[in-house]
Amino acid sequence: MRSLLALVFLCAASITQAASANFTFPSIDGGDISLSDWRGQPVLVVNTASRCGYTRQYDGLQALYETYRDAGLVVLAVPSNDFRQELGSNEDVKEFCEVNFGLEFPMTTITPILGDTAHPFYKWVKDEVGFQPGWNFNKILIAPDGRVAATFGANARPMSRPITSAVTAFLD
């Protein structure tokens, strides 16, 4: 009986952990961004906004990406207007980020992250670990196996020790 329960638990855990790899976002560059493309790599998902006091964190996110991308880290920006601080269109967001920050990491289109209209990824994170962004620039680290490895609030700077330590734990 114990071995049967252990098998059921392992199967359920595998399904849950693999779930994050199945989410797709519309890309700000056109087409889709699928988390399954980065299976086996750590992915830092960050809800962003162009008119937020934390917008300067784009510099830190770019530095984090440049530092660890060759080792496998992906940073994914998810612009959202849920806190009413995003620009009016995807084109405006893309231009703002390119001109002011020279971002090279992937970015989605403007995406709801809260409530009934939240993107399924954010609903999944809330169901899995009880984490829901309380403001812009909250960070969710997805482990290479697809589980939520860590979450960080808006105050956590991208190059801070808590984030870099969590990220490097999953790099080659």
d(CA 152, CA 136): 11
DSSP characters over 81-123: -TTS-S-SSHHHHHHHHHHHH---S-BB-S---SGGGS-HHHH
Instruction: Kindly tell me the burial class for residue 164, based on how many C-beta atoms sit within 10 Å of its own C-beta (0-12, 13-18, 19 or more).
Output: middle
For 33, phi then psi, to 5°, come to -115, 120
CB atoms < 10 A from the CB of 115, how many?
10
- Catalytic residue from among 19, 44, 52, 61: 52
SS3 6: helix
Q: Is 11 a catalytic residue?
A: no
| DSSP count for the chain of H helices, then E strands | 5, 6
Q: Which of 26, 45, 66 is nearest to 148 (CA)?
A: 45
**Residues annotated as part of the active site:** 52
